[in-house]
Structure 1
Amino acid sequence: MGKTNRTHTPAFKAQVALAAIKGDRTISEVAAHYEIHVNLVAHWKKQLLEGAAAVFDSRGKNTPPPDDPKVAELYEQIGRLQVELAFVKKNLPASVEWKRLQVEPAHPQLSVRQQCELLELNRSSIYYEPAQADPEDVRLMTQIDRLHTESPFYGSRKLAVELSTPESPVNRKRVQRLMRLMGLEALYCRPRTTVTSRCHKVYPYLLRNLAVERPNQVWSADITYVPMPSGFMYLAATIDWFSRFVVSWKLSNTLDGSFCQEMLEEALARGTPSVFNTDQGVQFTATAWTSRLEDAGVSVSMDGKGRCLDNIFVEWLWRSVKYEYAYPCRPETVRELERGLREYFGFYNERRIHQSLAYRTPADVHQQESRRPQER
């Protein structure tokens, strides 16, 4: 007999989505905690993020003046309703997770069926075993990430050969599936670098034959995959081309555009570049991203067709992050990863010297060169 499908309440979905948005655990860890499939967690998080703005928009339309007597009466009614709702929420039945913990399979007097009836709990939820991330997939994804960092021009065919052993062959289709999940793509010249939605405007590549001579002239952003013991995280960063200075960075447990938008706002709060270059991924072709840059007076640039090295400075940054921090330190939790990245980027900007910068640090070059026009 097949398993009975579980019915999740809106409150439970909101709780799971908020836990995912908090970002202190991977999607696999959130799914294991709430005993649901990882796809549900990612889907509910996306739904909550997309629907959050509508809550404020609907309340902000056609608002009457505050001195209107009818408005005062309405506020009074809302206040009473909020008190009633608080009382109801306080006396709501316990969550499904709490009820499951109260069931004792070896109870001397009550069977599992009787305990579930007393708790008003569906008996199938006691025996439900949520699908977990395949440990073999996690191991292969870690190896794929390392190989991609070493040789970003390797495609699924070569990666499958590298990963295969006589005892454990790896199918190319499996490698393709894991690469799609990780958001990885081989770097090589081809007619179409990225397939984007037709509704998104594709901007031209503005950096061809452009001499980058000062800080904040050209910024670039990209996203990479960071392996974890239980799942994975995504890291986005913005880098200044001239000084290699990391302007801002953000972590996320899902590959959505919200954390990229947060990174962009943080970067623009620290300065405004003349040109901002990205690839043609959906996070960077979204209207929210491009319109924000245009409103700030920034020229939007996107990697051109057949231009596999247009974003090479960010690729070098990912190699440094992984080989100098992620792989040697192997953080166990998201909090540890975030704390370690904060320390590493501080080291990268303030203390790590670069041969291409005449053995100076990115922060030193960024600050000194930024002051030169004022000194002149």
Structure 2
Amino acid sequence: MEGRPRRSFTEDYKRECAELVVSSGRSITSVAKELGLRDSVLRRWMEQFELQPTSAARRPTTQATPMSADQASEIARLRQENERLRMERDILKKSNRDLCRNPDMSFRFIEDHRDVYPVRLMCAVLEVSPAGYYAWRERPVSTRAAANSVLLGAIRQVHHDSGQRYGSPRVHAALRTQGRGASRGRIERLMRRYGIRAIMTPPRRVRTTDSRHDLPIAPNLIARDFTAPAPNRVWLADITYIPTAEGWLYLAAVMDLFSRKIVGWAMRDHMQVELASSALTMAIRQRKPGAGLIHHSDRGVQYASSDYRAALAGAGVAASMSRKADCYDNAPMESFFHTLKTELVHHRNYQTRAEAQRDIFAFIEGFYNRTRLHSAIGYIAPIEMELKAA
């Protein structure tokens, strides 16, 4: 059996790995494990770019201005009142609107949050009596309720570990791999009851490629057949945008259709041919594909350019392009960009392109490729899909 080809990394990839250690404040060992690298490799890259791990900066202390006893007492009272109002707001936000019509659900909410908020405060907000809650608490716990309590804890842990990105389908798949046999419907009900949901926002669209040109157009070789028998048989490519206070950051990505793994990427402040070519270069260096690989993209000028076509030809890769203005011909790439936006970008407010670049790199290499469960490949991670095929 032939060994796996040795991985080759671009300078962009090395720098992003090294800068992630600095920006995150984590250890080299921790970051290397997340990215699937050896400590020594990541340490060498940090030395190459003259970077050192940093610890969180200490905030300077300032001399407090003396205040009178009355002022201190009033400040303490206001803080206590503000804390009470904050807790009331949190209780109303976290509780279901149906709680007030269902005392049992109200009591369950109070029981689940009694270590967070005062019981009497929760009773007042949810309009139930403390005596009724304590009487409910003394009742014997049913077998089903006890099992639901254990299952709820497992659901919350999976949801937390995913960065709150998983909804009920992926939570169900993750729990199934842990050997928990709860049905998806039961998990959906518990997540809905306790307000556990995936962070999602509607996508926004900006045109990133221009197909209005006279450059050669490749035929559509995949015809919406989004399956591949093995790695490095079909790659998909596209470009998207990331908003920052400095302006747009453009991301070019290359996906292996078999595993849905992002095998090449590049980020720039422009969307010229060099952006797309850099992502392709990373993919070719890391994967070293053999003959028979199809590269599918839209008709954008970046992919139809002579430089890009030459790079494909030099690697023995056959070009394929979607029909004009038909995003469904490249649906898996559109799905990846949708995931990136709804699970990460739309929940951030990037001040600089560098900040966005670090965050996106960590999402792709640390979460999406290695951890995130993909419905298209049976709710496993891309790296696991490729290990199965090895």
Question: What is the TM-score normalised by the length of structure 1?
Answer: 0.46
TM-score under structure 2 length normalisation: 0.45
